[in-house]
Amino acid sequence: MTALLLALALLAGAVQASEPRTVLVLGDSLSAAYGLAPEQGWVALTAEKLKARHPGWRMANASVSGETTAGGASRIAGELARHKPAVVVVELGANDGLRGLPLEHTRANLEKIILASQQAGARVLLVGMRLPPNFGPQYTQGFERNFVELAQAHGAALLPFLLEPIATDREAFQADNLHPVAEAQPRLRDHVWPALEPLLK
């Protein structure tokens, strides 16, 4: 009987050890493949690369089009409980900025997401965004600074600007001039990957 229990315990341990670790992406339409088939988005493309390069890992995409940092902050506990991620990629803030929401509210929401993720044992990659200059220098600079200062304060990894590889290429965007086309998604994947891969320990 003791031998049987020991064998079952060892088997359970082996199954647990073989379960893939999860990268959770908590984002907005830029990560939810807005206007595209889901498999065309940078998150799905990164998931393919992750499977090829790090077979013990998988990606879960909890991104929602139109999501604000407040929405992400309200959802983070449930997503952490659901996916139990080892890494959380936070790509939120663009909708806050486009709506001109108070910078301190955006900062507080992002901080809540970062701290909740870290308290759950996950490493965090904070993906920043930039705003058009018509929002004024005080707001745009403060918006950008939020990401930098939060990453520094909480030891999170930082990718300063998700759209950096395509920002000046009008052909890389859909008709709304906000969301990247399918052809641009591999460039976003390749931009995110060097910031993400060191967290896969």
- Residue among 66, 3, 53, 1 nearest 23 (CA): 53
Global model pTM greater than 0.85:
yes
Which of 29, 31, 63, 117 is labelled catalytic?
Answer: 29
Q: Is the dihedral of CA 114, 128, 91, 201 positive or negative?
A: negative
74 as an active site residue: the answer is: no
Annotation marks residue 105 as catalytic: no
- When pLDDT is averaged across residues 31-59 and rounded to a whole number, the result is 98
Q: What is the pLDDT of residues 181-191, one digit of tens each?
A: 999 999 999 99
Instruction: Tell me: pLDDT of 72 over 80.
Output: yes
Look up the CATH number of the domain holding residue 128. 3.40.50.1110
Lowest-pLDDT range of 4-18, 87-101, 125-139: 4-18
- pLDDT at 5 > cutoff 90: no
In a domain, 13, yes or no: no
**Active site includes 65?**
no
- pLDDT at position 99 over 90: yes
Which of 63, 117, 179, 191 is flagged as catalytic? 179
- The domain total for the chain is 1
Range of the domain at 85: 20-199
